[in-house]
């Protein structure tokens, strides 16, 4: 008769407990997400449009956000990849004369900002659950005045997925008014350096450009709003980078042909910090 040793019994027991706890955890997380989705369905400023429905009947507010939803002519500002919606809500509170729409594909995270805006009775906020590449399905040409991109994945290996690439600039042009502003706030030296080069090489009108936002002395109420993860970076003595520029409709855009040193750490949403210091990014122009 085969018998298990003590170490084998402990290992087997550990696996059984881990599987049990893991299954209970994921079951709880699944139910929690479903609960949040149900709650958001009852919030009239949260829009969750399935692709099939979008193809069948389109989005009724496209081109009519001002008239039929916000009921004013105030500028419309998008936050792409809004996560928990901290920026969307924070900006909307600080600037009631503008309309803010947070966009993200992950609805469970969006629930935080949506419920906060509902509790505060805010009427210049909306949330849209969709893929960023579908923006032209939801907004008419020139309907958007500004776009905020806050702490996105830098996509160091995939330029076509980089939210500040020329590919995405062409997408933003389909909804942004001529000369509308694009803002990037990031912890990534790689993404900041890439965006700096992209904007300057294409001759875009850069408004603000700094590799150390809170050490720059820039007094801007908008830039004082900080996300949860942003504050964690600051608490560790790391710098936040910011660049904003006007995106016109006519300037031909060329993708920069550059090699940029990859970040030496990972952001919180992509894993644990690998090293505490940030080196100045080295940029090498290809010959």
Half-sphere exposure of residue 284, counting CA atoms within 13 Å on the CB side? 5
CA-wise closest residue to 267 among 152, 140, 97: 152
Instruction: Give the list of residues 6+ apart from residue 22 with CB closer than 8 angstroms, or none.
Output: none
Active site residue 153: yes
Of the candidates 74, 123, 153, 209, the residue annotated as catalytic is: 153
Helices 107-119, 6-41: inter-axial angle, 10-degree rounding: 50
Mapped onto helix, strand or coil, the DSSP state of residue 131 is coil
- Contact call for residues 88 and 149 (beta carbons, < 8 A): no
Q: Phi and psi at residue 257, in whole multiples of 5°?
A: -100, 80
279 phi/psi in degrees, rounded to 5: -90, 155
| Active-site amino acid positions | 153
């Amino acid at each position: 008769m085969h018998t298990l040793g003590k170490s084998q019994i402990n290992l087997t027991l550990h696996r059984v407990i881990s599987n049990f706890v893991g299954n209970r955890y994921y079951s709880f997380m699944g139910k929690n997400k479903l609960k949040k989705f149900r709650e958001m369905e009852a919030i009239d400023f949260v829009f969750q449009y399935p692709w099939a429905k979008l193809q069948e009947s389109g989005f009724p507010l496209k081109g009519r956000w001002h008239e039929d939803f916000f009921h004013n002519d105030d500028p419309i500002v998008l936050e792409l990849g809004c996560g928990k919606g901290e920026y969307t809500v924070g900006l909307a509170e600080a600037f009631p004369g503008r309309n803010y729409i947070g966009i993200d594909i992950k609805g469970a995270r969006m629930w935080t900002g949506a419920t906060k805006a509902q509790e505060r009775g805010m009427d210049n906020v909306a949330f849209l659950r969709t893929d960023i590449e579908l923006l032209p399905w939801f907004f008419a040409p020139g309907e958007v005045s500004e776009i905020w991109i806050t702490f996105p994945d830098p996509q160091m290996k995939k330029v076509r997925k980089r939210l500040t690439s020329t590919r995405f600039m062409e997408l933003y042009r389909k909804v942004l008014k001529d000369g509308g502003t694009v803002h990037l706030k990031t912890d990534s030296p790689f993404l900041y350096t890439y965006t700096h080069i992209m904007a300057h090489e294409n001759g875009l009108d850069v408004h603000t450009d700094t590799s150390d936002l809170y050490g720059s002395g820039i007094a801007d109420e908008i830039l004082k709003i900080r996300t949860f993860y942003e504050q964690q970076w600051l608490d560790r003595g790391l710098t936040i980078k910011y660049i904003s520029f006007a995106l016109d409709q006519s300037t031909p855009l060329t993708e920069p042909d550059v090699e940029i040193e990859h970040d030496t750490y990972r952001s919180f949403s992509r894993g644990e910090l690998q090293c505490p210091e940030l080196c100045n990014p080295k940029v090498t122009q290809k010959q």
